[in-house]
Amino acid sequence: MSLGIVFKGPEGIVLAADSRVTLHARILDPQDPKKIEEIASYYDNATKLLYVNKQPFIGVVTYGVGAIGQKEPRTAHSYIPEFQDEIPDGNNDKNNRLSVKAFSKKMSDFFLDKWNRNMPTDQKIGDMAFLVGGYDDEAPYGTIFEFHIPSKPEPFEQMQDKGTFGLLWGGQREYADRLMQGFDGSLPQLVKQFAKLSDDQAKEMLINLRGTLTAKIPYQFLPLQDCVDLSIFLIRTTIMMQKWIVGIRGVGGAIDVATITRTEGFKIVQQKTIFGEICKN
């Protein structure tokens, strides 16, 4: 599932993601051959913070379905070398610098093709979601686009107004939801059913809840460092909570973080590294 965050601040964009990928295997119950059990396997070294060095002012966070393909599953990160071969190099030529929207469209088309080639069409699997953040040439503030493969492949812009700042997060978001908006996504439906509310009443209740319970954070005021700190905090809190819960622990491993600014482009803040065996005396 993962937890991915893109934070649009006045000084730049922050991208943050955990490193856990969960793969599910179905096996026959040895006690009951007619019963199929699903087993989750966790891998804590996946890279969900994506970067294409040909477009240095754009970065991507992915969450949701962790891999494409069933017999030979591959992460989104493993496809980046192929994707990079299909886009122009904008490092030294502004004419080749893609807008965030154009980049998002190319990436969506690429991964939709991979999905259609490698995933079954007769099963409901879920989506591999992407949050794309970056700066268009000479734009004062960053831009964020979102798309989901395969259900919503057309990229759509988030926080479109020039002076609008804030966070987007996706994946296993219940703890981030509770901290940031005061309740998780299951509450409105639970209240609607319990109180027997109409659709209009439920919508009015949701608006009231968000207006009353949402954390009062002045996003337009926050320096870039505070944006980094808050992004890490939300992912770390989710990881810690999942240590004790009974359920899918889909967020874990190292937290990778990067920033994008209009002057310096994409910069890694923290990122896991490859290391060998550590021997203690």
Any domain includes 281: no
Q: What pLDDT was estimated at residue 274?
A: 92
Question: pLDDT tens digits for 168-178?
Answer: 999 999 999 99
Residue 228, domain extent: 3-185+217-270
Asked if residue 190 is part of any domain, the answer here is no
> How much is the pLDDT for 279?
63
pLDDT in tens, 144-188: 999 999 999 999 999 998 889 999 999 999 999 999 999 998 998
Q: What percent of the chain has pLDDT over 90?
A: 79
Does a structural domain hold residue 170? yes
* Residue 20 forms part of a structural domain: yes
Q: Give the CATH number for residue 166.
A: 3.60.20.10
- Whether 155 is in a domain gets the answer yes
Q: How many domains, the chain?
A: 1
Q: Could you tell me if residue 44 is inside a domain?
A: yes
State yes or no: pLDDT of 99 exceeds 90.
yes
- pLDDT, tens digit, 9 for 90 and up, residues 10-49: 999 999 999 998 877 767 777 777 777 777 788 899 999 9
**Over the stretch 213-249, which tens digit does the pLDDT of each residue have?**
999 999 999 999 999 999 999 999 999 999 999 988 9
Picking from 230, 259, 197, the residue whose alpha carbon sits closest to that of residue 12 is 259
pLDDT band for position 281 (cuts 50, 70, 90): low
- Domain assignment of residue 29, yes or no: yes
| 104 in any annotated domain | yes
